[in-house]
Amino acid sequence: MSRLDAFIKRVTAQRECLNEIARRLHGRSGPILELGLGNGRTYDHLRELFPGQPIFVFDREIAAHPACVPPAEFTVLGDFRDTLATALTRIGRRAILAHGDFGSGDPERTAALARFMGPALDPLIEPGGYVVSDQPMTVARWRAIAPPPTVEPGRYFIWQVGDGGA
Ligand SMILES: C[S@@+](CC[C@H](N)C(=O)[O-])C[C@H]1O[C@@H](n2cnc3c(N)ncnc32)[C@H](O)[C@@H]1O
């Protein structure tokens, strides 16, 4: 598969999964977490899907399109391994959705980061909330949700967070 085809499949999967979760969260309010701002494409889509909801953005740096730079009060700069531990204080209450798009070209480093991210995100999401990610993660109280049928298996992942967390 060409890198162009892979990119199209990836961004299409992101859009389909985020749209699906916006449908499921319709009428529910609360913070949203964007883990990995990058160019800001998915952040911009989240802004459209969840108007008026606070979207807290985590990344080690700001390298987004100028139109997609989040306000300073919703920006948490630094490595996830440093910023997530105190994130609940920053966001004020548990989130209804976390979107993690943090894969890189290094599969081993990405897998190690995903092993860290699941348990680190878990206490930040309220029961019934969702986690959507480009990486597989394993947390006991998360229930895997099948992505929309247009998303090819293993391309993107959705979980609903159950009871029993922090
Ligand atoms: C693939 S990009 C995200 C693309 C974004 N979703 C978009 O639509 O433009 C991944 C981002 O995750 C960030 N990232 C990866 N590992 C990180 C870490 N350990 N701590 C903080 N940020 C990290 C990178 O700096 C990069 O901006």
What CA–CA distance (Å, rounded) separates 156 from 133? 6
What CA–CA distance (Å, rounded) separates 166 from 154? 29
Which atom of ligand 1 is closest in space to residue 63's alpha carbon?
27
CATH numbers and ranges of domains, the chain = 3-161 (3.40.50.150)
Pocket of ligand 1 (CB under 6 A): 36-42, 59-61, 79-80, 101-102, 113
What CA–CA distance (Å, rounded) separates 109 from 86? 23
pLDDT at 163: 80
Question: 129 C-alpha vs ligand 1 centroid, how far in Å?
Answer: 22
pLDDT at 164: 58
Residue nearest to atom 4 of ligand 1 (CA): 38
Question: 15 C-alpha vs ligand 1 centroid, how far in Å?
Answer: 17
Looking at residue 90, what DSSP letter applies?
Answer: H
- CB neighbourhood size of 98 (10 A): 27
Are 9 and 34 in contact by the 8 Å Cβ rule? The answer is: no
What CA–CA distance (Å, rounded) separates 114 from 15? 21
pLDDT at 8: 95
Using most ligand atoms within 8 A of CB, pick from 35, 45, 69, 101 the residue to mutate for ligand 1. Answer: 101
Say what the pTM is.
0.96
Are 123 and 93 in contact by the 8 Å Cβ rule? The answer is: no
**pLDDT mean values, one per 10 residues, the chain (166 residues):** 94 98 97 98 98 97 97 98 97 98 95 98 98 97 96 96 72
pLDDT at 3: 93
Residue nearest to atom 3 of ligand 1 (CA): 38
Question: 59 C-alpha vs ligand 1 centroid, how far in Å?
Answer: 6
Question: 141 C-alpha vs ligand 1 centroid, how far in Å?
Answer: 25
What CA–CA distance (Å, rounded) separates 36 from 34? 6
Q: Which H helix or E strand runs over 104?
A: none
